[in-house]
Amino acid sequence: MSPQFDTTAMILAAGLGTRLGALTQDRPKALVELNGKPLLQHCIENLISNGFHHIVINVHHFGEQIIDFIDHHHFDAVIQISDERDLLMDTGGGIVNATPLFKDSKAVLVHNVDIISDVNLRDLSQQFIDSQDDAWLLTQDRETNRKLLFRDDDQLIGWRNKADGNFKWVYDSFGEFKEMAFSGLHLFRSDLFAEFEVKPQSVIDLYLYLAKNNRILSKPIQPNYWFDLGKPEQLKSAETYLKRQPQ
């Protein structure tokens, strides 16, 4: 039986971490260290400081190491594991698989384990609960090959890969749109993915499908810092930046 909390945070920690090369040969990406502390610990502590006391973590690659890490650390939160060690479910399938664990929450925040930022997740989650929307995709105006496409009213209408020219549309192609980069953070109603089959699938594909009948909106963010730590050089940049910040 799942505990009852107004909000749940899900940390996506099942990825193979191949872009980090040798750093993930003997450990999951979640346990790669940033300034002496595993990325997973940074993420958990940040979520707790933002008021999330129910956390779900999905695991696959070296999943037993993450389970052992949680068992040997005391965090001020109820932490549950969504086990994908038998089959990696991708970003969407992982959420569908974990849906029973947060079905009683008013809102679910999904947080990639390799994202480090100072986004005010407490305020955003409350604003989302108070809204009439089904999901908020936290977005940024930054350069990247993959962009989410939105109408002027911020409703999701598509996705594009600028590198290969590939588009995916909610409906047919749309004349005018604005492009935004996905931040690896999103909020949604806890039952939004309940009707999908549990299988490997992309969360972007699921959102494009849901946008036909649901309010799936862009929510732009402008944090003081935001790092995607998928590559060694990005880890170095974050380490340097954070060491310069006052404690």
How many CA atoms within 13 Å lie on the side-chain side of 219? 23
Give the pLDDT score at 247.
63
Give the pLDDT score at 142.
95
As a whole number of angstroms, the distance between CA 82 and CA 94 comes to: 8
Cα distance between the two ends of the chain: 39
Give the pLDDT score at 176.
87
For tokens 């996506």, the residue is: 12
As a whole number of angstroms, the distance between CA 115 and CA 235 comes to: 10
Range of the structural domain that residue 52 is part of: 7-243
Return the closest-CA partner of residue 128 out of 222, 194, 221.
Answer: 221
Supply 194's token pair. Answer: 């309940």
pLDDT tens digits for range 209-230: 999 999 999 999 999 999 999 9
Give the pLDDT score at 31.
98
Q: Phi and psi dihedrals of 94, rounded to 5? A: -65, -40
CATH number at residue 177: 3.90.550.10
Whether 2 is in a domain gets the answer no
Contacts of 195 (CB under 8 A, 6+ apart): none
Which stretches of the chain score pLDDT less than 50? none
For the full predicted model, state whether its pTM sits above 0.85: yes
Whether 226 is in a domain gets the answer yes
Whether 214 is in a domain gets the answer yes
What residues pair up with 168 in beta bridges, in sequence order? 159
Give the pLDDT score at 173.
74
Whether 94 is in a domain gets the answer yes
Whether 20 is in a domain gets the answer yes
Whether 75 is in a domain gets the answer yes
Supply 222's token pair. Answer: 């402008």
Supply 174's token pair. Answer: 């749309």
Give the pLDDT score at 1.
61
pLDDT tens digits for range 89-112: 999 999 999 999 999 999 999 999
Contact 141, 101 (CB under 8 A): no
Give the pLDDT score at 238.
97
Q: Which region holds residue 17: left if phi is over 0, alpha if psi is between -120 and 50, else beta? A: left
pLDDT tens digits for range 58-68: 999 999 999 99
Whether 123 is in a domain gets the answer yes
Give the pLDDT score at 175.
78
Give the pLDDT score at 2.
66
Q: How many domains does the chain have?
A: 1
Return the closest-CA partner of residue 5 out of 120, 123, 132, 107.
Answer: 107
